[in-house]
Amino acid sequence: MRPDVDLVTAAKVGLGSMMSTTRANLSVGPPYDVGVYTRDSMRIEQVRLHEGSPLLDRLEDFWQTHLLQVVRELPTVSVELDRA
């Protein structure tokens, strides 16, 4: 993760990664536990997202829709592009 990324964004990326892993590996799945430690706070903020929770459902729908959109916009992978 880049140092200029805030903790909220980093947590979203982490959750997105877990949701993508779930789609690729059926042995992985909710509940998802998220812990965030803010420097010098001496405490960890935690949340557990269970399967079927409204928030997790919204996150999964949003992640899937936008991930596919971004993948469609990636350059096409081909031998010709690799040589350019």
Host domain of residue 68: 7-83
- In a domain? residue 2: no
List the end-to-end C-alpha distance of the chain, in Å, as a whole number: 29
What whole-number distance in Å separates Cα of residue 57 and Cα of residue 39? Answer: 30
- The answer to whether the beta carbons of residues 22 and 49 sit under 8 Å apart is no
pLDDT recorded at residue 7: 83
- In a domain? residue 1: no
Domain count across the chain = 1
Q: What percent of the chain has pLDDT over 70?
A: 90
Q: Residue 42 — pLDDT band, cuts 50, 70, 90?
A: very high
Token readout for 20 is: 């993508």
What whole-number distance in Å separates Cα of residue 80 and Cα of residue 84? Answer: 7
pTM for the whole thing? 0.67
Q: Residue 48 — pLDDT band, cuts 50, 70, 90?
A: very high
- In a domain? residue 50: yes
Token readout for 44 is: 């960890």
